[in-house]
Amino acid sequence: MADPWLSIVGLGEDGLNGLSDASRAALEEAEVIFGGPRHLDLAGAGARGQAWPVPFDIAPVLACRGQNVVVLASGDPFWFGAGGALAAHLSPGEWRAFPVAGIFSLSCAHLGWRIEEVTALGLHAAGFGALRRALHPGAKVVATLRDVATPRALADWLVQEGLGAVHMYVLERMGGPHQRVRVTQAERFDLSGIEAPVAVALDGADLPRDAGLPHVPGLPEDSFAHDGQITKSPIRALTLAALAPRPGELLWDIGGGSGSVSVEWGLAGGRAITIEPRADRIANIQRNIEAFGLTRHIRVLEGRAPDVLSDLPLPEAVFIGGGGTAALYGWLWTHLPEGTRIVANGVTLETEALLAGLHARHGGSLLRIELSRAEGLGRMRGWSAARPVVQWSVTR
């Protein structure tokens, strides 16, 4: 096999001094060196250096195929770095990588945290909502940040979310001669003069016992933006159990409403495409996706099924929240591959009859869910029944 044309070199704040002999040799032999301005300066790239385009794009690197090329990345190039994006477009023999300790390893080593017990997040390219899944009493998180203004913005967000007791370790220029680590609580944040590159380590040791999200489905309805069209908490828990999400699987959420089922599917590690015909409800779905930090996991599609389904990637599971129509189920049964899980909820007599017929024809499980809540009845209490829900679940 010919030598790889691309070397992906991890670089720390100590610059060339922290590189292995193999990394140094790759840099010396390179015809073109790609990286951010700071990396190019640390490596002494000179006239061979090419800064990344804005917005970030790997196309210039791929256009140099056949030349001797180096890409510089922070620390480990495959931890929220350019390494993964490049490798996805290359054959294994085209590239080699030389990682060094990145911000995650450096931070845990400085703080004495066990790496296997720490959650790693890349907040430099995502909203703070992802922290809602990660923060709970005793949690430890290390996250990259976009710029020097972000630590204060993060502290404000934590306070707003009722997480002001979180201890924030602000990590500046880790691994180099100008490294600095300062600690404060989010609710007392007063740090200034922060220097890039900056990351943060979060310690939830002092959070209240009820802080954070539970790791089972069925979040309260008031956790979501909605107009009343939302799968209620206990029904949603039963629905997610029937859908049986697994990390990386794709869900079609047909008739998304508030998007609550897609959100809880995403929190379980899956991906979702939420199909909703009403623009006002799409706005709520988008708000919920952003609030839970799932913008990379959930896509929203305006339209009606099955009209908009033909060009979508095939899912592992499908949820039909509004009961659906005979035409929709006919399309799904014709177009979905064997093994696809289908779950449908209905509340009307017409939908119940439709789902009962589908159950008789295709099998699966037909469940009638009847729930009552205790509510005030004069000076006493009584049971207030919700509309029963009929749920059909089947594997295509």
Domains for the chain: give ranges and CATH numbers.
Answer: 6-100 (3.40.1010.10), 104-203 (3.30.950.10), 221-395 (3.40.50.150)
For residue 39, the number of C-alpha atoms closer than 13 Å in the C-beta half-sphere is: 24
pLDDT tens for 256-315 read 999 999 999 999 999 999 999 999 999 999 999 999 999 999 999 999 999 999 999 999
**Dist CA 110 CA 328 (whole Å):** 56
**Dist CA 162 CA 158 (whole Å):** 6
93, two tokens? 């023999």
pLDDT grade for 2, boundaries at 50, 70 and 90: low
**pTM assigned to the model:** 0.87
Nearest to 141 by CA among 104, 178, 175, 194: 104
Give the alpha-carbon dihedral of 303, 304, 308, 313, to 10 degrees.
100
pLDDT > 90 in the chain, percent: 91
pLDDT at 1: 44
pLDDT at position 94 over 70:
yes
DSSP 52: P
Total residues found in the chain within this entry: 396
Average pLDDT of the chain, as a whole number: 94
pLDDT tens for 35-55 read 999 999 999 999 999 999 998
Q: How far is CA 64 from CA 10, 55, 61, 306, in A?
A: 20, 19, 5, 43
**Dist CA 167 CA 183 (whole Å):** 7
CB 187, CB 157: distance < 8 Å: no
Nearest to 357 by CA among 330, 386, 389: 330
Neighbours of 31 (CB within 10 A): 12
